[in-house]
Chain A
Amino acid sequence: MLNVLITAARNFVKNYFVATIMIATLAVFCLTCPNFFSINNLLDITKQGGLLSLLALAMTMVLIVGGMDMSVGAIYDICTNFCAGMVISGYGVFLSVAVSVAAGLGFGIFNMVMIVFIRVPPFIATVGTMFVVTGLTFAYNKGQSILLSNQPLFFSLAQGATLGIPNIAIIVAVITVVIYICLRRFRYGLYMYATGGNSMAAKAAGINTTLSQLIAYGMSGMLSGLGGALAASYISGSFALGSPFEFLITAFAAAFLGSTLIRQGELNPLGTVIAALFITSLNNALTLYGVSFLILPGMQGTVLILALVLGNWGKKQTGQMTIF
């Protein structure tokens, strides 16, 4: 009996190397840091991780079709501002959130037009969008943070819980499942992977690669917009200065770390969310240890590099040329 267990464990480690390391790391945290394992802390991690997951999911969609979106952080920031601004001006919760998502979609369309129709390389186009959106943010909030108070319905969105489960977790879980199903079950999801995998083969098979890209960038915008709205709810307002870069590194790191979690090494929504939660835990634990928050982005950068190396390493072993 023991032998069977040991063999099973060994196989698990071999096939799910990265997951093993992640579990081991979390175990170390739980054991060595008493505050980490508390219910409140874990709930915090879930909520913050959920917010970041939305950004990571946005990035994942675009990476799947073989593109890149450097503007997710900036869109997130501006939508935080939009949502907070609308709530404080008296528009209802529903309208505020809807407008945020629509704004995100609008920026996503802006990206789409540049990348798909004018054929600007994704990096340049989305960096340009990032600059413009950052400027718009500043123009909108005039350098002021927005502080919300007495908005119980709105706050309950991100700060509240239903049946004990944080609302953010529910929202993110639902979105993740929906995305997962769409990618796996529907043709257009498959076509998105095909577009990213080998766009020439996809086109030769009659797949509309333009449509795949449109969907990806549109969804990326919407997810970032939704994330921004929920962020406004979570922090009860918005900050004057956002940190688009930090969000970017988390989004990339989560997307690529998530891809190493499954056998084929593909980008996938479930892996991304798990990785985002893990990275949030990492940040959280390191902060509890007393590590300065200043080096957290650098730590995530290291995670990204390791994820890239691991991802490449696996592919090299099967003789595949990486398409980066």
Chain B
Amino acid sequence: MNRARLLLGSLRKMSAMPAILLFFALLVANSFIMANSLSRSFLVSYLNNTTPVMCIAIGTSVVIICGEIDISLGAMLSVGNVLLIKLLGAGVPYQAAVVLVLAASMAMGLLNGFLIAAMRGSSLLTTFATSTIYSGLALLIMPVPGGSVAREMSRFYNGSLLGLPAAALFFMIPYAIWKIYKRTTHGMRLYAAGYDRNKAYVSGVNVTGEKIFAFVFAGFCAGMGALAITSSLGAGDALIGAAMSMMAISAAVIGGVSLSGGYGDVTGSLFGSLFLGLITVSVLSSNVSPFVQQLASGLILLFGMLGAMAFGMKSGKKRN
């Protein structure tokens, strides 16, 4: 009996708990609204659509954990998307194009990291500014949506790999990298740097270096998201990532990542993204008037965030 209580207690302390609960609650609720909502085909296509946001959510979470915030990831994803289409359209071989896109994303992340970590700028305002710059860049590269990709890419994306949806590969790679990184000494230092910059410095942590890594990694995640969405859409659209930054942050907050840094994990954000994606689907398939749908989504999102924050406060964290 005590063991069960201990287990429950430690489950309750898991930061990802609210996101997981919300997701499954909505999944169950949705099964009443929508027919076939638990069918494999639905779930797979839903996962495919949510993958790009999940990629960005991973990057966003890591940056928040290290004590900063990055709202330019959606714009970076847009750049990656149009860049990939343009390169493929120009005849660049697939592998080279992928490498270039990832490199470009990481370069943009490096710029963010440099501006913020080295110059101690405010990360919210700075990444807001860089998001406008990157969006502009994406629009310059491709002012009008268009282009196409080889059929194989879409088929690969929508198909399966070893029985699992192939799309999952795109977010599993950054996820795996993060999980490995977290187990190394650097991972702990990242958390410490986010929790208290000065404390970490006195303990010998290279705060600037860890933060720059976080931003570059976030850029990499945006690049992976760009690859994912390009394979999924089969075309380029400079505005595709516009709303994703905010969704990723909401996903992170719902996922239990504390905005003050040093707490939480990416797993929660993944479930947060799934929850958000499911909101859109549920609202779409419910009988709510199409005009109210966006409002409904917004309200659910708001309550999701508030709920997650309240949960975080109640399980004994007195942090703002």
Q: Is the CB of A132 within 8 A of B299?
A: yes
Q: Is the CB of B295 within 8 A of A297?
A: no
- Cβ-neighbour of A245 out of B122, B242, B259, B302 (below 8 A): B242
Residues of A within 8 A of B132 (CB): 245, 249, 297-298, 300-301
Taking the nearest CB of chain B, how far is it from the CB of A195, in angstroms?
A: 16
Residues of B within 8 A of A121 (CB): 259, 320
Interface presence of A124 (CB below 8 A):
yes
Query: A3-11, A176-184, A305-313: which one contacts chain B?
Result: A305-313
Interface presence of A136 (CB below 8 A):
yes
CA distance A300 to B132 in the complex (A): 8
Residues of B within 8 A of A305 (CB): 115, 121, 126, 129-130
Residues of A within 8 A of B115 (CB): 305
CA distance A305 to B132 in the complex (A): 11
Mark B272-295 against chain A: 1 for CB-CB distance below 8 A, else 0. 000000000000000001011111
Mark A278-301 against chain B: 1 for CB-CB distance below 8 A, else 0. 000000000000001011111111
Beyond A121-B320, A124-B253, A292-B140, whether A135 also contacts B296 by CB under 8 A is yes
Q: A131-149: which have CB < 8 Å to B?
A: 131-136, 138-139, 142-143
Q: Is the CB of A142 within 8 A of B291?
A: yes
Beyond A138-B294, A139-B291, A324-B121, whether A132 also contacts B126 by CB under 8 A is no
Chain B interface mostly: helix
Q: Is the CB of B298 within 8 A of A295?
A: no
Total A-B Cβ pairs within 8 A: 123
Interface presence of A252 (CB below 8 A):
yes
Considering the complex, give the chain A residue whose CB is closest to the CB of B138. A294
Residues of A within 8 A of B294 (CB): 134-135, 138-139
CA distance A249 to B131 in the complex (A): 10
Beyond A139-B292, A302-B133, 17 additional contacts (C-beta under 8 Å) are A114-B306, A124-B259, A124-B305, A128-B301, A134-B294, A135-B292, A135-B293, A135-B294, A135-B296, A136-B295, A138-B291, A139-B291, A256-B125, A298-B137, A304-B128, A304-B129, A322-B120
